């Protein structure tokens, strides 16, 4: 069996780096797509010499998304799985927050996933086991104070996942989302230094769920919103 071709958006962030590295360890060939210009140290080497690295890609722009997927096709000839990790977070109350944050979080969470998925659809239809995996949020199921803009954006990712799963199920392409609680990242530890980090979701554990959904073995799962919440 030839290696799976997997595109990871937001590949330079903590979760993206862990997912890409784990996929490479499983034998996948990787397209690493990110808005940032510089990948983290060691990522490209961990993903293999033939990894496609696309920097400075604004996936909120549909043309940029199409260009990125065209590059994937040019390098690998096909695509088997798209993992939409690109996104963003802001905490703010409605009364004291910046209204522009609502547009920002919609663009960085919903539009990036929608544009990347749209650009990848034809490639994924041609795969014998096409997969799209989105990153939702457990916090979008019942939003807490200050979470309105973020929860609304991630709820949009949930609805996108369900709708696209219905659109593509007859084509053999599955579409699912994972709904993490708090992911154990350096940024979250810095923001919440007095809590039990062991209760949070380790990036490697979340990556394991994502990569199962990206695998041929997950053929019977589509339209699912899967909580991955650790002990939060």
Active site residues: 150
Q: What is the DSSP letter of 109?
A: I
**Which tokens go with 13?**
């962030």
In whole angstroms, give the CA distance from residue 200 to residue 169: 33
Look at residues 207, 215, 182, 191 and name the one whose alpha carbon lies nearest to residue 17: 207
Beta strand extents in the chain (DSSP E only): 5-9, 29-33, 52-54, 81-84, 131-135, 174-180, 225-228
As to burial, measured by CB atoms within 10 angstroms (0-12 exposed, 13-18 middle, 19+ buried), residue 55 is: middle
For residue 84, list its beta bridge partners: 9, 134
* CB distance 219 to 168 below 8 Å: no
Task: Give φ, ψ of 5 to 5 degrees.
Answer: -100, 120
As to burial, measured by CB atoms within 10 angstroms (0-12 exposed, 13-18 middle, 19+ buried), residue 176 is: buried
Neighbours of 207 (CB within 10 A): 22
């Amino acid at each position: 069996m030839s290696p799976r071709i997997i595109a990871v958006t937001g590949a330079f962030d903590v979760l993206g780096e862990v997912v890409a590295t784990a996929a490479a360890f499983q034998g996948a060939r990787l397209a690493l797509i990110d808005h940032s210009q510089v990948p983290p140290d060691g990522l490209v080497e961990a993903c293999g010499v033939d990894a496609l690295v696309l920097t400075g890609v604004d996936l909120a722009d549909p043309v940029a998304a199409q260009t990125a997927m065209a590059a994937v096709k040019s390098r690998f000839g096909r695509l088997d799985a798209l993992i939409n990790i690109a996104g963003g977070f802001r905490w703010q109350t409605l009364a004291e927050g910046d209204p522009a944050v609502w547009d920002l979080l919609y663009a960085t969470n919903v539009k990036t996933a929608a544009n990347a998925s749209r650009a990848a659809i034809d490639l994924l239809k041609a795969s014998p086991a096409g997969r799209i995996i989105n990153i939702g949020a457990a916090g979008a199921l019942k939003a807490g104070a200050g979470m309105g803009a973020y929860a609304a954006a991630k709820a949009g990712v949930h609805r996108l996942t369900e709708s696209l799963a219905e659109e593509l199920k007859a084509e053999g392409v599955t579409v699912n989302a994972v709904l993490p609680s708090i992911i154990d990242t350096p940024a979250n530890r810095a923001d919440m230094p007095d809590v039990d980090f062991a209760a949070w979701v380790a990036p490697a554990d979340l990556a394991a769920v994502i990569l199962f959904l990206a695998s041929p073995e997950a053929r019977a799962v589509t339209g699912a919103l899967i909580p991955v919440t650790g002990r939060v």
